[in-house]
Amino acid sequence: MTPGSNGARPAAASPHVIALDAMGGDRAPGVVVEGAVDAARAHGLTVLLVGPRATIEAELARHNTTGINLEIVETDEVIAMNEQPARALRQKPRASLKLAIDLAAEGRAAAAYSAGNSGAVMAAALFAMRRLPGIERPAFGSPVPNSNGLTFLIDMGANAECKPVYLLQFAAMGVAYMRLAFGHDNPTVGLLSNGEEEEKGTPLVKDAHRLLKASGLNFAGNIEGKDVFAGTVDVAVADGFSGNVLLKAAEGTRAMIEDALRSELERSLRTRLGALLAMPAFRAMRRRFDPEEYGGAPVLGVNGVVLKGHGRSGPKAIRNGLRLAHDLAENGLIGAISREVERLTVNLESGAET
Amino acid sequence: MTPGSNGARPAAASPHVIALDAMGGDRAPGVVVEGAVDAARAHGLTVLLVGPRATIEAELARHNTTGINLEIVETDEVIAMNEQPARALRQKPRASLKLAIDLAAEGRAAAAYSAGNSGAVMAAALFAMRRLPGIERPAFGSPVPNSNGLTFLIDMGANAECKPVYLLQFAAMGVAYMRLAFGHDNPTVGLLSNGEEEEKGTPLVKDAHRLLKASGLNFAGNIEGKDVFAGTVDVAVADGFSGNVLLKAAEGTRAMIEDALRSELERSLRTRLGALLAMPAFRAMRRRFDPEEYGGAPVLGVNGVVLKGHGRSGPKAIRNGLRLAHDLAENGLIGAISREVERLTVNLESGAET
């Protein structure tokens, strides 16, 4: 069977079988294998560990693996974090990242997870799984912690250039994802712009605004970068360029504040003692804004379930990511996305008639 | 004399005379008048307070104004923060914000300052002062606190749509500004993109990258949103849309962290005591990242000196802004910008010959 050609669904694996790029991420393979062991034990998953057998076995030897289901899928090819994606995939057809995604595309796993090279994950998913029917461009979504919980940002960087209809479809995919992954009933959608007023923004944003207004989605209008963190909306829609700028700006700001706070607290005995007493609050903060809790960023709009973990993922992020991959497969992510985008088309068409 | 027509310099006022929109900002006129009184006393400035006479006089009555130079320029028209700029300026030709800028354009003040409606400040400056010769589009710059000091971001929101040559000129203006306002010798320039690699970004970014490489500026290549806060470069160049997203994302992240930290520290007696002891560190943090320290965001590329303060400016921000306006006028901002952009043209031309 040709994997995913013409958007045909591959034979489905049990949702308990997840393919994992054992070599993906800044701290691979150590923390990745550790996370896989934890996930297999805690959630009863079967994890297909893709990578060099000897390396993986050496890591497995550090853990108790009795009674859990882990299989190694052997390959020696690995794509580094900063390689140019298209070239890397051409030169390394058996790269661990690619093989893991191929396993999901072929129905030998229900989903794939990698904390490796984002561009290569997107390209490999698109190549092996193809777009879902009716989807113009797949996108990367990302849960972003905010003051009340989280906002789902889509696109976070796959499509630097967008057309208005892409943004509309990103919105529908984000809504389907928020419902499925986080149990939101009727998620609100905001369109990222440089001001809340309807007349603000680039021509892309203005046109997307009109489409979203007519879409039947729960559209709350334009939002500014700060609204994502205030939790004004559930789904924030952006082209991949500004979505990426937004995420990286938040990451940079958090790092800057943490560094500055640490150095200011070090300055005197008094503030060092204060820091010691305040430690539970600092720990709670870290948990609250820890991207590791949220399991990773889904590739949405392809005919398969693929999750991308943060490059700096630790074992907890890997474990949560594998569990989320299972949940998404079990709860029918692909069908949910397809239905939401179909409904959109119908709404737009009936909107055009009136 | 027609103000600023054909880019002609108006008769110069003493750099000590600054026109101030007394009604601009969320906390106007109270804190604005207070800041003006402080600036007049501390820096020997003559401040022209533009706004309703009775309102300003009532505010002045709260302060000791003996021996300092303050004048009221009367008008009853005021533009609100959220009014549509072009319409507001049409409907209120004597708006305080516009009159303050007109005073600078006509040479009755050396510079204008407003913490009011950003779009209206830019439009009024462009209308009254015109573009400097050779400048395609004026831009808003903004000092952004980072881990080592500050990065100057340009454009922060005036031009949602840009051409590559605009970004090139923003870079040159940013370099001139960093030299003049912050004493940097040879500021480095980074181009905001969705990845550091040269092949990343929109067509706009890729073309601007090529222009910057050939420009003779100290170009450090593409940067990501997080680099602005790590202080990787001195000047960060962006189109106004993503520049605005970046600034607002940072603002939202800071607010989110502050709120969360405050509520976590409130949770127990232990953490409340810790917070009390750690207070000097929190205060130092606030000072370190306080936008009020930096005096405001300049309109660059018009034939005059105009500074825009943050809407939430307090008296310190106003005082620092008035002082900065004076310094920029005294040190010849307009000439410095013109020379840097001229040099750019020459470099590009000689680059094209080789």
Residues B172 and B260 in one domain: yes
Q: B residues 210-249 near A, CB within 8 Å? A: 224-230, 238, 240-242, 244-249
Q: What is the pLDDT of residue A195?
A: 85
- What pLDDT is recorded for position B312? 86
Q: Over pLDDT 90: what percentage of chain A?
A: 84
Q: Which member of B82, B248, B277 has the closest CB to residue A225? A: B248
pLDDT reported for residue A147: 85
All residues of chain B having their beta carbon less than 8 Å from the beta carbon of residue A279 are 274
Same domain, B50 and B116: yes
pLDDT tens for residues A187-203?
999 999 998 887 789 99
pLDDT of residue B350: 58
Please tell me the total count of domains within chain A.
Answer: 2
The mean per-residue pLDDT over the stretch A288-292 comes to: 76
User: What does the mean pLDDT of chain A come to?
Assistant: 92
Distance CA B133, CA B131 (A): 6
Question: B119 with B43, same domain?
Answer: yes
Other beta carbons within 10 angstroms of residue A272's beta carbon come to 14
C-alpha span between A353 and B22 (Å, rounded): 52
Beta strands in chain B (DSSP E): 17-21, 46-51, 69-74, 111-114, 139-145, 150-154, 188-192, 218-223, 235-237, 297-300, 306-308
- Give the closest-approach CA distance of B105 to chain A in angstroms: 28
Contact at CB, B260 and A161, closer than 8 angstroms? no
Would you place residue A10 in the very low, low, confident or very high pLDDT band (cuts 50, 70, 90)? low
Judge: B285–A261 Cβ closer than 8 Å, yes or no.
yes
pLDDT tens readout for residues B273-325: 999 999 999 999 888 887 677 779 999 999 999 999 988 888 999 999 999 99
Within a domain: A313? yes
Contact residues on chain A for B256, CB-CB shorter than 8 A: 146-147, 229-230, 289
Checking if the pLDDT of A82 tops 70, the result is yes
Give yes or no for residue B353 having a pLDDT over 70.
Answer: no
Instruction: Please answer whether residues B211 and B200 qualify as being in contact, where contact means their C-beta atoms are separated by less than 8 angstroms.
Output: no
Is the pLDDT at A70 greater than 70, yes or no?
A: yes
A147 touches chain B (CB under 8 A): yes
pLDDT value for A347: 66
Question: Could you report the per-residue pLDDT of A47-60, keeping only the tens digit for each?
Answer: 999 999 999 999 99
Q: Do residues A288 and A266 both lie within one domain?
A: yes
Asked if A274 lies within 8 A of B274 by C-beta distance, the reply is yes
Q: Which residues on B lie below 8 Å from A228 (Cβ)?
A: 249, 252
Band (pLDDT 50/70/90 cuts) for residue B2 is: very low
Interface contact A44, partner B, CB < 8 A: no
Same domain, A239 and A168: yes
Q: Are residues A287 and A171 in the same domain?
A: yes
B274 touches chain A (CB under 8 A): yes
Are B172 and B309 part of one and the same domain?
A: no
What ipTM does the predicted assembly reach? 0.91
pLDDT band at B348 (very low <50, low <70, confident <90, very high): low
The C-alpha atoms of residue A174 and residue B44 are separated, in whole angstroms, by 57
- Among A89-98, A296-305, B141-150, B223-232, the least confident range: B141-150
User: Do A94 and A213 belong together in one domain?
Assistant: no
B156 lies in the same domain as B105: no
Cβ separation A277–B279 shorter than 8 A: no
CATH number at residue B325: 3.40.718.10
pLDDT band of residue A4 (cuts 50, 70, 90) is very low
User: Is B340 contained in some domain?
Assistant: no
pLDDT above 90 (res A167) = yes
Can you give the residue range of the structural domain that contains A206?
136-293
* A212 vs A12: which has the higher pLDDT: A212
Cα separation, A136 vs B189, in Å, equals 36
Q: Taking CB atoms and an 8 Å limit, are A249 and B251 in contact across chains?
A: no
pLDDT-derived band of residue B82, with 50, 70 and 90 as boundaries? Answer: confident
Judged by average pLDDT, the poorest of A5-14, B202-211, B296-305 is: A5-14
